[in-house]
């Protein structure tokens, strides 16, 4: 497999900002990176949860990613204190399984604001700062978390799937545009993960993984320099195959299994 990014093997030399660190994958990543001696900044809406998990082991920066003023203030704070990260993990996501007939428009808009629109609150500010302040010893790196649900339309996940597809598209566009600025972009596409979000599902979730396993596979993918790290492989390769089927055939198949 071709390397798309500079592999990351030494986390001791990196300052990492994990956005969405209060639970699930973000929490597991923070603890794994702490053992690897990375300098860690953790953010989420839940300040009390962050304090309980990360007191004395990470810089705590509570933010609501949908609040533009908070994002502006946080970015200014990091610059002023010379704490701008060289690596960012972006994990914010909301999910509610709902069919379109019963979809409540405002709830869907709220989820989309967190899942995709908020990314444009911070991402341009960060990469503009990175571009203006190049590093000599390593590349900057932004890691987006998407989902296998991004590959093609799935029932009962219209707003979530659309937001994950948008994140994947953004990651690809950013990778192409920012390579010449020594800014690496990675995309993580997991299957089912045992979190508070997937507990809302009322169906069997095959090959469901723990957040810690996802964190482990994520760091392994970054160490190999991959643009996309997707897992579990037995599921993700099926999704990739479905992605290349003619759309008419795919839609017929999904209608049969709905």
Per-residue pLDDT, 70: 97
Give mean pLDDT, residues 39-47. Answer: 97
Reported for 74-80, long-range contacts at CB under 8 A and 24+ positions apart, including other chains, are 74/43, 75/122, 75/125, 75/126, 75/129, 78/41, 79/129
Per-residue pLDDT, 207: 95
Give mean pLDDT, residues 249-254. Answer: 88
Per-residue pLDDT, 257: 64
> How many percent of the chain have pLDDT more than 70?
98
Per-residue pLDDT, 246: 92
The CATH number corresponding to 11-257 among 3.30.1490.20, 3.10.620.30, 2.60.40.10, 3.40.50.720 equals 3.40.50.720
Give mean pLDDT, residues 1-9. Answer: 86
Give mean pLDDT, residues 241-255. Answer: 89
Helix axes 24-35, 211-223, angle to 10 degrees: 60
Per-residue pLDDT, 102: 94
Instruction: State the pLDDT confidence band at 227, using cuts at 50, 70 and 90.
Output: very high
Give mean pLDDT, residues 128-141. Answer: 96
Query: Residue ranges per domain, the chain?
Result: 11-257
In degrees to the nearest 10, what's the CA dihedral of 82, 9, 148, 244?
120
**Ranked by mean pLDDT, which of 93-102, 210-219, 248-257 comes out on top?**
210-219
Per-residue pLDDT, 256: 74
Rg of the chain (C-alpha set):
18
């Amino acid at each position: 497999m071709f390397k798309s990014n500079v592999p990351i093997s030494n986390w001791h030399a990196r300052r990492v900002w994990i956005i969405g660190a209060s639970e699930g994958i973000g929490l597991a990543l923070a603890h794994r990176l702490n053992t690897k001696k990375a300098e860690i900044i953790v953010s989420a809406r839940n300040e009390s949860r962050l304090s309980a998990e990360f007191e004395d082991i990470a810089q705590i920066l509570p933010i609501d990613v949908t609040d533009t003023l908070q994002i502006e203030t946080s970015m200014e704070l990091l610059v002023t204190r010379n704490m701008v990260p060289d690596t960012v993990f972006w994990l914010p996501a909301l999910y509610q399984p709902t069919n379109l007939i019963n979809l409540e428009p405002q709830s869907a808009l709220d989820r989309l604001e967190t899942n995709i629109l908020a990314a444009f609150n911070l991402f341009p500010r960060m990469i503009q700062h990175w571009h203006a302040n190049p590093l000599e010893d390593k590349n900057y790196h932004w890691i987006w978390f998407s989902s296998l649900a991004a590959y093609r339309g799935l029932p009962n996940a219209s707003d979530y799937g659309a937001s994950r597809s948008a994140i994947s598209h953004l990651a690809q566009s950013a990778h192409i545009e920012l390579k010449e600025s020594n800014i690496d972009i990675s995309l993580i596409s997991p299957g089912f993960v045992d979190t508070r979000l997937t507990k809302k599902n009322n169906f069997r979730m095959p090959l469901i993984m723990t957040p810690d396993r996802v964190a482990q596979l994520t760091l392994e993918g970054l160490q190999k320099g991959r643009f996309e790290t997707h897992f579990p492989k037995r599921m993700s390769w099926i999704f990739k195959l479905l992605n290349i089927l003619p759309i008419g055939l795919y839609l017929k198949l999904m209608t049969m299994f709905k």
